[in-house]
Chain A
Amino acid sequence: MAVTVDLNQVRQWLDSDEPNYKKLATLGNQILPHLATLVQGTIVSRAAKAASLAGMIDSDRAVEVLSAAAKHPSPIVRLAAAGALRESKRPAAASVLMSLLTDQDSGVRKLAVKSASVRPNAALMAKIKELGSRDPTAGVRLVAAKLASERGKA
């Protein structure tokens, strides 16, 4: 029997300093509408946690939530989206990652490189190689070059 979850409950769960993501992810698609609402909210902490939780749900609707998170004005939420996309196996996640690889925040780009490097996607790999040689931030260049090299050997 499915348990009905309302927005307030999801909000309370995500307010925790250390949400139990694994347990919350078992609720599945029913909480995605709430996550979509929360990820566009102004409370950065809650929006970031909503993005993290969405990444643990295997659904195209979850990728839409992450796509919205990737456009959030706060880099903390975009960071959460970049990290969450690492676990998403949906093909649609590649386009969201591609947008994050060109993010203006170096931390977001770096995390997006790490998430994109585990996906067998030629376009993403080409972008990672490009960042490895042309990114303005040394840390991003270093990580991108290293991951591109490892993937090339594999």
Chain B
Amino acid sequence: MNNPFVFESIPLSGESSCGCQGKTANQEMIAEELEEEYRRPRSAMRPAFPRVPMRARRLWPRLRRRRYIPIRPIPIRPIPIPAVPTTWTAPPLAIVPEPFPAAAEPDGAAPAPEPEPEPAATMPEPAVTTGEPDTTTPEPAEEFEWEVRRPLRRPARPPVRRPPARPSPVSGATGGFAAAPAPVGSARTAGPGCDRPLLRGACLDQFDFGKFAIKDIHRQRIRALAQCIVASQGTCSPIVTVALVGHTDPVGSLAVNEKLGRQRAESIRNELRDAIKGLRPGLETQILFNVLSRGETDPVDLNDRARDRRVEVFLHNTITDPSGCIPHKARLRMHIKIFQEPCIPITIMISNMKRLYGLAGFLVEVASTERLKGLPNLDSNDAIDVGDCVVGTVTAEQNLLFNNRNNVKTNEIVVYFVRATSPRNFNGCATHPPGRAGVIVTSTASEWTLAHEVGHVLGLNHPDQDAAAARLLLDRLMTSGGTANITGVPRLLPCEIRSMDTSALTVDC
């Protein structure tokens, strides 16, 4: 009774002004279960590589941390005891009313852990309907905060138009995660194309054709994002990483669209950075911004291209992924082992591969690089006997070469750069012993051969056999017309991306 304080773990209330922070443990569990539910079919396709359960991997460490971090004292108001008149004169009770801390609420409610962000009135925003600044309506909580509507890693699907009657997550379809419907004039109302498989992020669409300039509907949304990021800094899970992925519609060349998508993402990044700086100067330098472009490779709507012209923003509250895997779908780890340098620099081959695979949503990582000085019975000047390079047949020399893995994991690929192959000359060969995924790339390889051969390992085949057809398919990575004849950035078809996606060698981010 003498101790006026009791200690209590304060749950995150989920009542912040922007709604992007303070998700309760129960909400998080539901979200994780939803995410896990979406991931389950894909996991089932990989019996050889069982996954650590999502909850065990993600949820419990967070909950465990949360038990200890937000602990603060709650004062107890002392109860005054009324004086009882007796003949015996008792000494006066020394009850002195103590001033309670201002933060303590009479009903015991936990005070807000962080001061509210500056009111929206300090940042006038144009109202689309009237053209007048709306200084009375507070900044809305929109759908980008902590919602798990659909997983980032979803089964690939053909881009089809969604029915208009589909309930928007903003309107409360996510079980209370979203706080308020979006106002008129927000990016949400500007485009239902934002129904993308976002995980804690936002989608800003309706860019003008061929343009990367930000529109007013984007600015309003960006300010809300900035407030969300700033407000999260006082919580136990501050947002520290923002990934921005630019997209375009299918009109135009692949290279132009990739550049345009990047420019759009950079525009949003710059605006978001300025907005954060306006709210809390200096914070913008502590946030890590990752800008990516997927160009035209990931459309959402064939009938409304304005929905495709978009930037997806992903907010992350931990730097758990410094490699920047998210927002890629999966990562592919390669180990480079050089027996002899090819004519085309290896860096160019890897750069091209990263670019193309990145467009398809796969992060290519070079885990290690090693120079093979000389192996038993193999010299760097030797041509490696690969036979006919037919799937399922591996020669003794291939076995000898592929034995050099040096702690490479079974779900990683080794690329051996050799001088040549024999008895037939190939630019590369993707046959490999079971359980030792790898490819051979020769010194006469083109700048796309590496990506081509790894594509074979991931389950892709040549789409064409006829020479005439092959010449017409030189915009495809897996063309049999020779990757040396490819001009520009080749394509990967959606069905090919799906095949790569299901490979055990592409590991979910």
Contacts and interface: CB of A to CB of B under 8 A. Distances in A.
B420 A139 contact: no
A68 B423 CA distance: 17
Interface string A6-34: 00010011011111111000000000000
B337 interface: no
B505 interface: no
A44 B484 CA distance: 12
B481 A52 contact: no
Contact of A21 (B424, B429, B470, B484): B424
B423 to A, nearest CB: 4
A58 to B, nearest CB: 15
A142 interface: yes
Which bucket holds chain A's interface residue count? 35 or more
B186 interface: no
A141 to B, nearest CB: 12
A16 B427 CA distance: 8
A110 B381 contact: yes
Query: By DSSP majority rule, is chain B's interface helix, strand, loop, or mixed?
Result: loop
A12 B467 contact: yes
Contacts of A82: 383, 422
A55 B449 CA distance: 24
B482 A15 contact: yes
Indicate the member of B374, B426, B470, B471 with the most A CB atoms within 10 Å: B426
B377 interface: yes
B480 interface: yes
B201 interface: no
A111 B382 contact: yes
Nearest to B453: A17
Nearest to A45: B444
A12 B427 contact: no
Nearest to A12: B467
A8 B423 CA distance: 24
A12 B467 CA distance: 7
A52 B379 contact: no
A79 interface: yes
A105 interface: yes
Indicate the member of B422, B429, B483 with the most A CB atoms within 10 Å: B422
Interface in B413-429: 419-420, 422-429
B425 A51 contact: yes
Contacts of B481: 12, 15-16
B443 A76 contact: yes
B475 interface: no
A81 to B, nearest CB: 10
A80 B425 contact: yes
A132 interface: no
B269 interface: no
B365 interface: no
Indicate the member of B377, B420, B449, B462 with the most A CB atoms within 10 Å: B420
Given A22-B388, A76-B420, A86-B423, A106 B446 contact: no
Interface in A90-125: 105-107, 110-111
A131 interface: no
A80 B422 CA distance: 7
B444 A52 contact: no
B379 A76 contact: no
B424 A76 contact: no
B485 interface: yes
Contacts of A9: 467
A79 B379 contact: no
Given A83-B423, A83-B424, 6 more contacts: A17-B480, A17-B483, A79-B422, A87-B423, A107-B381, A139-B374
**Pairs of residues from A and B, 5 with the lowest C-beta to C-beta distance, nearest first:** A15-B482, A107-B381, A83-B422, A45-B444, A83-B423
28 contacts: A12-B470, A12-B471, A15-B484, A16-B470, A17-B449, A18-B426, A18-B428, A19-B424, A20-B480, A44-B343, A45-B427, A45-B444, A52-B423, A52-B425, A76-B420, A76-B444, A79-B425, A80-B422, A83-B424, A84-B423, A84-B424, A106-B379, A107-B379, A107-B382, A107-B419, A137-B379, A139-B374, A139-B381
Interface of B: 343, 374, 377, 379, 381-383, 388-389, 419-420, 422-429, 443-446, 449, 452-453, 462, 465, 467, 470-471, 480-485
